[in-house]
Amino acid sequence: MKRLAVAVVIVAGMAFAGGALASATITGTYRTTITKPASVKGTWTLDFKANGSVTVSLNGKVTPNHPSVKGSTLTAPGGHNCPTVGTYKIKLTGNKLRFTVIKDACKVGRKLILPGHTWIKVS
């Protein structure tokens, strides 16, 4: 009976810890270099702030794009090239980020930049 009680406590603790990690905000600066297509070629940087805001830069110049992060989801607002909102699942493994599309009708811009590339933490 004591073993069962200990097992329940351990499983409950693991569930709580997993939930805490899932809701943690990603912070830091991540970078990737894209070579194709030419329309998005360059060194891209994402600077994740603790408040969930993200600054996007291309070749060191800040862009007008301002996505936000909540948990493991990045939300990109509609803008110049993509008039609709796009959402992406973030997977963080060590110092590397990968994005997969949750929903995004955009065919250019962010859909060519976020998914399909590995983003490396630089600071």
Which CATH number fits the domain that encloses residue 53? 2.40.128
Residue 78 pLDDT class (50, 70, 90 cuts): confident
The tokens for 76 are: 């990109």
- Is residue 76 a part of any domain in this protein? yes
pLDDT in tens, 20-54: 334 467 999 999 999 999 999 999 999 999 999 99
pTM over 0.75: yes
Taking the C-alpha atoms of 105, 64, 38 and 27 in order, what is their torsion angle to the nearest 10 degrees?
A: -80
Counting the structural domains of the chain, the total is 1
8 Å CB contact between 84 and 99: no
CA distance 15 to 97: 24
Q: Is the torsion defined by CA of 40, 90, 107, 80 positive or negative? A: negative
What integer pLDDT is reported at residue 16 of this predicted model? 33
Q: Is the pLDDT of residue 103 over 80?
A: yes
Q: Is the pLDDT of residue 19 over 50?
A: no
What integer pLDDT is reported at residue 24 of this predicted model? 60
What average pLDDT does this structure show over 49-61? 97
Given the structure tokens 């493991």, which residue do they identify? 72
- Is residue 4 a part of any domain in this protein? no
Laid out side by side, the sheet with 119-121 consists of 61-62, 54-58, 42-48, 28-34, 119-121, 96-103, 86-93, 73-76, 68-70
The type of residue at 91 is K
What integer pLDDT is reported at residue 57 of this predicted model? 97
- Is residue 113 a part of any domain in this protein? yes
What average pLDDT does this structure show over 70-99? 93
Residue 95 pLDDT class (50, 70, 90 cuts): very high
What domain range is 105 assigned to?
26-121
8 Å CB contact between 108 and 39: yes
